[in-house]
Amino acid sequence: MEVNERLQQQINFILEIDKLKNVYRQSVITDGSREENDAEHSWHLAVMAILLQEYANDPALDILKVLKMVLIHDLVEIYAGDTFIYDLEGNKSKAEREKRAAARIFSLLPKDQEKEFRDLWEEFESRNTSEAKYAAVLDRLEPLLLNSRTGGHTWRKFNVKSDKVFQKNAHTREGSVQLWNFINDLITDCIAKGYLEE
């Protein structure tokens, strides 16, 4: 079968990103039976982006751009691994590891798509645009929802305290004040239920 070079590069990328299904996160799915993988997390964020768009601070944000961001934001973890948000040591080298991984994974694409994906990933990481700020809200809300449904599984496993959870989620108000209020109430409720220690 003869395939043009551009299509072959795209197919190679599609096959390579299948590895995201084997990158496991610290959060467990709502029934508590197993850890969530990065591909599932990205899919969940994409659905959330569409459902919760009305709560974004910027009603004119580009939802397609948000969808692209949430679907590719963790592809770097194929090579860099998933760094737990509360892992102080792992987070020291995270930015550099992920930057190298971004160069590697996106270089598999044709040049125009390599630039587009790299730019979207960098925009997500910088959180300087309405789209990136909204995407960041979703990226924080999803594991909070999983923790709230699993009795604080990940927080208890790593002895995470409520002040750290509030601190790591405070930025969400930049993307959605309404979702920040929900997050704040959710964390407070988890404290009251004993899922999260003060």
Q: So what's the pLDDT on residue 1?
A: 65
Structure confidence by residue, pLDDT tens digits, 123-177 = 999 999 999 999 999 999 999 999 999 999 999 999 999 999 999 999 999 999 9
What domains appear along the chain, each with residue ranges and CATH number? 5-192 (1.10.3210.10)
**Contact 176/57 with Cβ under 8 angstroms?**
yes
Which residues fall within 8 angstroms of residue 100, CB to CB, at 6 or more apart?
Answer: 79, 80
Q: Where does the pLDDT of residue 84 fall: very low under 50, low under 70, confident under 90, or very high at 90 and above?
A: confident
* pTM score, whole prediction: 0.94
d(CA 91, CA 84): 8
Q: So what's the pLDDT on residue 28?
A: 95
Pick from 3, 11, 2, 1: which is nearest to 110 by CA? Answer: 11
**Exposed / middle / buried, residue 16 (Cβ in 10 Å: 0-12, 13-18, 19+):** middle
Q: What angle do CA 124, 115, 134 make, to 5 degrees?
A: 15
